[in-house]
Amino acid sequence: MFTSMKLGTIENISGIKLGILGTHLGVLEALVPNEEGLLPRDKDGEFVVVSGTKKLLELSPVRVDLIQLLSFGNTLPSEKDALIANLRELNIEPQLVMMVGGVNPMKPEDEDEAVEQLLHNIDAAKRNQTTEINSTSIEPWMEGTPPSDENDFQERVTQNIKLHFRAFQEADLENSCIKNWNLEFLRPGEFATFTSLKKIRPILDGLNKEVGRPFFRALIDAAHCGDSGLSMAENAQIISEMGANDQIGPFHCSAPTTRGCLSSDDGWVSALLRANAETGKLPSAFVELFRHDDQAFAELRELVAGHGVDTTMGRTYIELVVDGLVDTVRRLNNLKNRGVI
């Protein structure tokens, strides 16, 4: 006779911090500010991200160390500060994933506005003494066309280096609490230019040459790697090379195409989590899921076959993330147990 087993506390022995994002709560419903710059709140007046995180922490047998928050330039500073403070009360450390909107970071004429939006978010990180920042600020989302030739690609690389190094200088990051800035590429369709680890590397190399040390690193997402057109082996080789250059930032445990239950990843999360861990440089792993019916991604569902498939199988999205946390900590602990970490 089968009886259900309730999981006890699972200790993370890997030394790699474990995190979540708030995306499973709905991007528009939890993360995007309104026209007044106010973040979504529930019926009790609590931030949706905070109330959702409380429910997850109550359910999870795994300790969650970190949470990454999509951070927009039009959110009021007081809102960012309050959200960070509320999450820290739950003994979880927030990181910002900085977004830019209405500008193209690859165009010189948009540089001033892009820098202004980045500085707005960097100021929030500095005010709140966070040690890492992240961003997708290398090109606009779901816009633009691929480069026409190699010269066009190089111009886009050069402008990104100029833009981000300017933000680094104007924010005086060299003398700040921030130790790393992690840049993320996105899959083809979401981005048109920097759509793989191979393509983002010239930006990181150029920026770190300007800074004089490996300050800029890659936020590597299994989902975007899996949909990038490069094989697992090709991604793993690039990760190994980036590890040697100290360019490994956080890792997103996220399933290619579906962006749902990690069991729909076709092996990508496991393979690339190991590849990152083998470098000896992996600081953290985040479980990232999106709702299959999230209105923020309606256009993406039309563009990408398989995106928007319901992988919940009777579970809530909070339960789906908890399952992902259990899966991830088991993998990390086994990598530690086998001497990979």
Q: pLDDT tens digit string along 9-31?
A: 999 999 999 999 999 999 999 99
What is the predicted pLDDT for the residue at 6? 55
- Whether 2 is covered by a domain: the verdict is no
Mean pLDDT, residues 247-252: 98
Min mean pLDDT across 3-7, 123-127, 297-301, 319-323 is at: 3-7
Q: Is the pLDDT of residue 305 over 60?
A: yes
Amino acid at position 323, single letter = D
Structural domain tally of the chain?
Answer: 1
Please report, rounded to a whole number, the percentage of residues in the chain having pLDDT higher than 70: 98
Mean pLDDT, residues 300-312: 84
Mean pLDDT, residues 53-59: 96
Tokens 């700040």 sit at which residue?
A: 176
**pTM attached to this predicted model:** 0.95
Tokens 């980045």 sit at which residue?
A: 118
What is the predicted pLDDT for the residue at 2? 37
**Residue 33's CATH number:** 3.20.20.150
pLDDT band for 169, please (50, 70, 90 cuts). Answer: very high
What is the predicted pLDDT for the residue at 296? 80
- Whether 12 is covered by a domain: the verdict is no
Instruction: Give the C-alpha distances (Å, rounded to integers) separating 81 from 15, 35, 165.
Output: 28, 18, 25
What is the predicted pLDDT for the residue at 163? 98
- Whether 8 is covered by a domain: the verdict is no
Q: Is the pLDDT of residue 8 over 90?
A: no
pLDDT band for 5, please (50, 70, 90 cuts). Answer: very low
- Whether 56 is covered by a domain: the verdict is yes
What domain range is 213 assigned to? 17-337
Min mean pLDDT across 1-10, 106-115, 217-226 is at: 1-10
What is the predicted pLDDT for the residue at 13? 96
- Whether 294 is covered by a domain: the verdict is yes
Q: Under 8 Å CB-to-CB from 215, ≥6 apart: which residues? A: 168, 173, 179, 180, 181, 207, 208
Mean pLDDT, residues 158-185: 98
- Whether 286 is covered by a domain: the verdict is yes
What is the predicted pLDDT for the residue at 264? 92
> CA 256, CA 280: separation in Å to the nearest integer?
24
**Mean pLDDT in the chain?**
94
pLDDT band for 252, please (50, 70, 90 cuts). Answer: very high
Structure tokens belonging to residue 189? 């369709």
- The full 3-state SS of the chain, as one line of letters, equals CCCCCCCCCECCCCCCEEEEECHHHCHHHHCCCCCCCCCCECCCCCEHHHHHHHHHHHHCCECCCEEEEEECCCCCHHHHHHHHHHHHCCCCEEEEEECCCCCCCCCHHHHHHHHHHHHHHHHHHHHCCCCEEEECCCCCCCCCCCCCCHHHHHHHHHHHHHHHHHHHHHCCHHHCCCCEEEECCCCECCECCCCCHHHHHHHHHHHHHHHCCCCEEEEEEHHHHHCCCCCHHHHHHHHHHHHHCCCEEEEEECCCCCCCCHHHCCCHHHHHHHHHHHCCCCCEEEECCCCCCCHHHHHHHHHCCCCCCCCCCCCCHHHHHHHHHHHHHHHHHHHHHCCCC
